[in-house]
């Protein structure tokens, strides 16, 4: 990792190499929105596919859904988000900057202020003469609540308009389908419903690249259980979340668990443990695991007047199930993986190479195929290999520039393997396989290339755990 402002280097690499671009850039940018470029999109897809495979397809106690972003407005009243999904904020009267007051106080005083009332927060800000991070003055409004949900008017008829909210979590789309899943699928408690999708939050102080953005993706599971099973199920899910972290290649020394204090818990949670990651800007939440009790289903039963009870097989017991919720941010996964993988490595010859040590499963390009020179017959053979592999994995062909430069370009993309066709290939039907991390090269018989790559690229997690 580079010593100075590593995040800046990662942001620059993401733009330079087509991972992530600033949103609406040709119009001067649109704060805290980002566009995923071709490599970022591929990496995101790899993560989501792997997550789905690991947590849904490979388990017999999970089903998946794809619910709408726009849900009936009553959903958000029932869930408590209309009333309670707020941040306390203040405006600077001088420069008009808007800030989360808890962050202002925490950063200036190094204390946690969760659980304090608006007037306590305002007093603290005034007593301690906290300065505006933008203009340096100490002249703030009183603290007030700001709801984080984006909303938009929906015209149902010419005369009436109704507010629709963009979902701030994917979870509610799962809860409101609980009854349909029970009725249409042969599921038995304990079981889980998974979903991957967009969520939106009108964050007051977003930032740190894609760490906190206003539009992001979540991979969430609501795991339905009998109340008595909650502690055991919670612990099992925490272990499964760690397995996932291991699977996609996080360095264990960059991960920790952090349990929420009582005053930090969300309105629906009785226990929450975050998996926090050591980002260049400090330890921050990467994923979360919450025991949501039966709060959500009970609320939906009350607001919808539709029973959310589960009847066990023998018909002996009727109850509203309790829920353990593991939640994973896609964008934070990408940022953490990039931070974990980024290295500016000083080579023996004194040169520096920038490399992403991404796990082959998340790497956007699995292999790159080069003819040593852009000449026949090397190019024809290299093209043949490229087309053979392209149907199996996302691979690239590159014939331009010096071979060293082509390797460096792939290092920056995190491509685990490069295959070079040279004049020996014509004589003995072998190619060079170059390993990204060690930069070592080995000769591989052309006929075994697919087999060798399949062995290196295929993930068998049964063997891992
Ligand atoms: N359903 C529970 C829930 O939404 P959360 O801790 O508010 O819990 C879950 O969000 C995950 O979504 C977080 O752990 C994080 O990875 C991601 N996330 C939350 N807010 C985000 C934001 N503004 N930008 C990017 N990712 C975010």
pLDDT given for residue 112 in this prediction = 84
Instruction: Return d(Cα 170, Cα 204) in angstroms, integer.
Output: 20
Q: Which residue owns the Cα nearest ligand 1 atom 20? A: 212
CA of 198 to the centre of ligand 1 (A): 11
Cα(141) to centroid of ligand 1, in Å? 28
Q: How far away, in angstroms, is 216 Cα from ligand 1 center? A: 8
Q: What's the confidence (pLDDT) of residue 25?
A: 95
Ligand 1 pocket, 220 CB below 6 A? Answer: yes
Contact of 193 with 310, CB cutoff 8 Å: no
| Residue bearing the CA closest to ligand 1, atom 6 | 288
Does the C-beta of 216 come closer than 6 Å to ligand 1?
Answer: yes
Low-confidence residues in the chain, pLDDT < 50? 1-3
Q: How far apart, in whole angstroms, are the C-alpha atoms of residue 204 and residue 32?
A: 10
* pLDDT at residue 1 in the model: 42
Q: Which residue has the tokens 């990792």?
A: 1
Q: Is 285 in the pocket of ligand 1 (CB under 6 A)?
A: yes
For a substitution probing ligand 1, which of 324, 332, 335 has the most ligand atoms within 8 Å of its CB? 332
DSSP state for residue 54 in the 8-state scheme: I
Which positions ≥6 away from 381 have C-beta within 8 Å?
A: 371, 421, 425, 426
Nearest CA to ligand 1 atom 15: 329
Burial code (b: 16+ CB inside 10 Å, e: under 16) for 279-315 equals bbeeebbbbbbbbbbbbbbebbbeeeeeebebeeeee
Nearest-Å Rg of the Cα atoms of the chain is: 26
Q: Whose CA is nearest to atom 24 of ligand 1?
A: 212
| Ligand 1 pocket test, candidate residues 86, 222, 285, most atoms within 8 A of CB | 285
d(CA 214, ligand 1 centre) in Å: 10
Nearest atom in ligand 1 to 171's CA: 1
User: Structure pTM?
Assistant: 0.94
| Whether residue 329 has its Cβ less than 6 Å from ligand 1 | yes
pLDDT for the residue numbered 2: 40
The predicted structure's pLDDT at residue 207: 76
Identify the pLDDT of residue 464.
Answer: 67
Distance CA 429, CA 423 (A): 10
Q: Which atom of ligand 1 is nearest to the CA of 169?
A: 4
The whole-angstrom separation of Cα 186 and Cα 182 is: 7
Give one word for 195, left, alpha or beta, with left for phi > 0 and alpha for psi -120 to 50: beta
**Ordered domains of the chain (ranges, CATH):** 6-83+149-339 (3.30.930.10), 86-147 (3.30.40.230), 365-457 (3.40.50.800)
The vertex-223 CA angle with 218 and 228, nearest 5°, equals 145
Structure confidence at residue 113 (pLDDT):
86
Residue nearest to atom 19 of ligand 1 (CA): 329
pLDDT score recorded for residue 266: 85
| Residues 161/162/168/170 CA torsion (nearest 10 deg) | -110
Q: Is the CB of 371 under 6 A from ligand 1?
A: no
- In ligand 1, the atom with minimum distance to the C-alpha of 218 is 12
């Amino acid at each position: 990792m580079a010593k100075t402002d590593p995040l800046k280097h990662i942001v620059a690499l993401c733009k330079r190499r087509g991972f992530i671009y600033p949103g609406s850039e040709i119009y001067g940018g649109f704060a805290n929105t980002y566009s995923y470029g071709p490599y970022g999109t591929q990496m995101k897809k790899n993560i989501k596919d792997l997550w789905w495979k690991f947590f849904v397809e490979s388990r017999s106690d999970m089903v998946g859904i794809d619910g709408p972003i726009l849900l009936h407005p009553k959903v958000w009243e029932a869930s408590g988000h209309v009333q309670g999904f707020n941040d306390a904020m203040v405006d600077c009267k001088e420069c008009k900057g808007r800030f989360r007051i808890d962050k202002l106080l925490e950063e200036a005083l190094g204390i946690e202020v969760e659980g304090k009332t608006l007037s306590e927060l305002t007093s603290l800000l005034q007593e301690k003469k906290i300065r505006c991070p933008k203009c340096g003055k100490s002249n703030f409004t009183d603290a007030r609540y700001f709801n984080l949900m984006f909303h938009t008017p929906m015209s149902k008829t010419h005369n009436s308009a109704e507010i629709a909210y963009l979902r701030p979590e994917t979870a509610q789309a799962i809860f409101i389908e609980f009854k349909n899943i029970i009725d249409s699928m042969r599921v038995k408690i304990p079981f889980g419903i998974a979903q991957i999708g967009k969520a939106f939050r009108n964050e007051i102080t977003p930032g740190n690249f894609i760490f906190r953005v206003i539009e992001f993706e979540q991979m969430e599971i609501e795991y339905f259980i009998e109340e008595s099973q909650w502690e055991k199920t919670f612990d099992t899910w925490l272990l499964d979340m760690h397995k996932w972290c291991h699977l996609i290649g996080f360095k264990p020394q960059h991960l920790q668990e952090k349990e929420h204090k009582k005053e930090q818990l969300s309105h629906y949670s009785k226990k929450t443990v975050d998996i926090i990651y050591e980002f260049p800007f400090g330890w921050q939440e990467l994923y979360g695991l919450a025991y949501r009790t039966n709060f959500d289903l009970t609320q939906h039963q009350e607001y919808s007047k539709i029973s959310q009870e589960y009847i066990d097989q023998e018909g002996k017991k009727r109850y509203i199930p309790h829920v353990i919720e593991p939640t994973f941010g896609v964008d934070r996964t990408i940022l953490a993986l990039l931070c974990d993988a980024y290295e500016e490595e000083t080579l023996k010859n004194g040169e520096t190479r920038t490399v992403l040590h991404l796990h082959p499963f998340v790497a956007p390009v699995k292999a790159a195929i080069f003819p040593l020179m852009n000449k026949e017959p090397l190019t024809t053979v290299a093209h043949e290999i490229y087309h053979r592999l392209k149907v199996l994995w996302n691979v690239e062909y590159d014939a331009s520039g010096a071979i060293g430069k082509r390797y460096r370009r792939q290092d920056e993309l995190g491509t685990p393997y490069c295959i070079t066709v040279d004049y020996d290939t014509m004589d003995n039907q072998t190619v060079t396989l170059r390993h990204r991390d060690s930069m070592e090269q080995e000769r591989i018989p052309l006929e075994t290339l697919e087999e060798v790559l399949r062995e290196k690229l295929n993930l068998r997690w049964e063997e891992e755990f």
